């Protein structure tokens, strides 16, 4: 019986109060640290979101400029293609005229028309 009575009085009220204060103090520090961590995380999220938006805007602008450059190149090539077609047609017409002239004049040729 004596042992049971002594078990209840193993810690004094001041020991309990000191232990509770230490635990309370530790939990306050942990809460403060967690709040700081949350705030840092939120700032990092906002910073990365801002950087991502800026990069997306820059890339969109660059793609827009590239699209315009490609259209300019396309129109330039189309113009060159039309110029080449006209030149080819002109050359073909001249060549065809020469062939027709040569063919008509060679009808009476004794070398190739046997």
Could you give the C-alpha distances from 44 to 23, 40, 41, 49, 69, in angstroms and in order? 31, 6, 5, 8, 37
> Model confidence over 22-59: pLDDT tens digits?
999 999 999 999 999 999 999 999 999 999 999 999 99
Residue 93: inside a domain, yes or no?
yes
When divided into structural domains, the chain yields a total of 1
> What confidence tens digit (pLDDT) does each residue in 103-112 have?
555 555 555 5
16: in domain:
no
**pTM for the full predicted model:** 0.48
pLDDT band at 92 (very low <50, low <70, confident <90, very high): confident
* Model confidence at 8: pLDDT above 60: no
Residue 4 lies in a domain: no
Spatial neighbors of 107 by CB under 8 A, at least 6 apart, are 113
52 assigned to some structural domain: yes
The domain of 100 spans 39-106
Q: What is the mean pLDDT of residues 57-74?
A: 94
- Residue 48 to residue 43: CA distance in whole angstroms: 9
Which helix (H) or strand (E) element contains residue 12? none
């Amino acid at each position: 019986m004596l042992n049971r009575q002594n078990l209840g009085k193993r810690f004094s009220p001041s020991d309990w109060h000191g232990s509770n204060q230490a635990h309370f103090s530790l939990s306050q520090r942990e809460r403060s640290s967690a709040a700081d961590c949350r705030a840092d995380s939120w700032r990092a999220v906002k910073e990365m979101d801002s950087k991502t938006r800026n990069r997306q805007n820059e890339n969109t602008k660059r793609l827009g400029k590239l699209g315009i450059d490609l259209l300019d190149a396309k129109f330039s090539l189309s113009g060159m293609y039309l110029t080449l077609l006209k030149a080819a047609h002109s050359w073909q017409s001249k060549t065809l005229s020469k062939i027709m002239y040569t063919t008509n004049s060679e009808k009476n040729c004794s070398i190739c028309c046997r």
